[in-house]
Amino acid sequence: MKKRNLFAIGSLFGIICLSAADAAPQPLTFNDEDSIRWAEGKVGTFRYKPGMDVRKWQAEARKDLIKKLGIEAKLKALRVPLSPRILWQRKVKNGTITKLILQSEKDYSFPAYLCIPDGNGPFPVWICVQGHGTGMHASISVRWQDEKTFKYDGGDRNFVEQCLERGYAALCIEQRAMGERSGYSDHRPGCLRQARHALMFGETLIGNRVFDVDRGIDFIYSRKDLRHDRIGIVGNSGGGTTSIYSGAILDRLTHVMPSSCFSTYRDSILKIEHCGCNYFPGMLNWGDMGDLAGLCAPKTLVIVSGVSDMIFPIEPAKAEFKHAKMIYRAMGIPNRCHHVIGNKGHRFYKDEAWKVMEPLYK
């Protein structure tokens, strides 16, 4: 047989093998026992310990986290005008939704839904951020293709409907690398590419998403129909991650409700395959998720987990919550830190979560 034919047969066999591998279910865990072993027993520099001066710890841990996320300069720099530009407006059940564009940085803007309930303001407001789907449209239960046709994406991710029926305003932010900002025509997440590119500029995708939330808060502060003393943030999965990091860093937020994003760095982010947007340099050297939650204090914090969440294991989540509660207790506010555990998997649990949060939001 000629070499060319052998090469062709070999290439075809390789393509068949690759296709079969792509079609097969992929394991959740990384086959990287070395990294998992190296992380065993590792304690980050800013892991809170009983007896520490909790406020001094917060200041130092937050400063280092901001630096590691690559947004130190952005948070301090003079900001460009938001220049809100309205795209459309429509009446919905319990309120009105306005789609607009906000300028976050000189060369970057993001779409958002401003959702105002019926009645007289000023209204308490929630910033809503979606996870790895096709974008912020899930918060208002419509198809992204026309933003009119009803489509409920499941998992209690219709945050706007939940807010409006409670008399709360909402600002839904399109996250970087997701939805209309994914870089793909079908709106599938583009996190891996954008996370890598952010690193090339000394930034991180998580950090840039937190910065966009801060710009959303700038917009809220510019409006008289929204309360500035009741600004919450809620999100699920990748939106939950943005919520808890924002809560740890941004002091103008007052309430934080992250969902399906909490466990330990080792047992979840290291050990289980995750999107590239979950990582920042030196995260194991910094601390852990319980410390991240502890930085949210004195804000009211309600962490939402699923008992059978396969990518944020529940037992490590319970242990890290105890760590966060210890920090809140050290600050004299243990009643502002809560853990809601739903009876299923990776999703939001609206009834259970709002039942705990609402009395603390008034």
Alpha carbon distance 150, 138 (integer Å): 10
**Which pLDDT band, with edges at 50, 70 and 90, does 332 fall under?**
very high
The single-letter DSSP state of residue 150 is: B
Compute the C-alpha angle 51/297/222, nearest 5°. Answer: 150
3-state secondary structure of 172: strand
Q: Rounded mean pLDDT of 260-289? A: 96
Q: Give per-residue pLDDT as tens, 203-244.
A: 999 999 999 999 999 999 999 999 999 999 999 999 999 999
Average pLDDT, the chain: 92
Asked if 207 and 195 count as a contact pair (C-beta separation under 8 A), the reply is no
**Residue 334 to residues 54, 59, 248, 289, 300, Cα–Cα distance (Å):** 14, 19, 17, 17, 10
The residue written with tokens 């919550």 in the block is: 321
In the structure encoding, which two tokens stand for residue 42, read together?
């590792």
User: Would residue 212 be called left, alpha or beta, if left means φ above 0 and alpha means ψ between -120 and 50 degrees?
Assistant: alpha
pTM, 2 dp: 0.91
State in Å, rounded, how far the first CA of the chain is from the last one.
Answer: 80
* Domain extent listing, the chain: 33-361
CATH 3.40.50.1820 fits 33-361, yes or no: yes
Tens digits of per-residue pLDDT, 147-203? 999 999 999 999 999 999 999 999 999 999 999 999 999 999 999 999 999 999 999
- What average pLDDT does range 132-140 have in this prediction? 96
Helix, strand, coil percent content, the chain, rounded in steps of 5 = 45, 20, 35
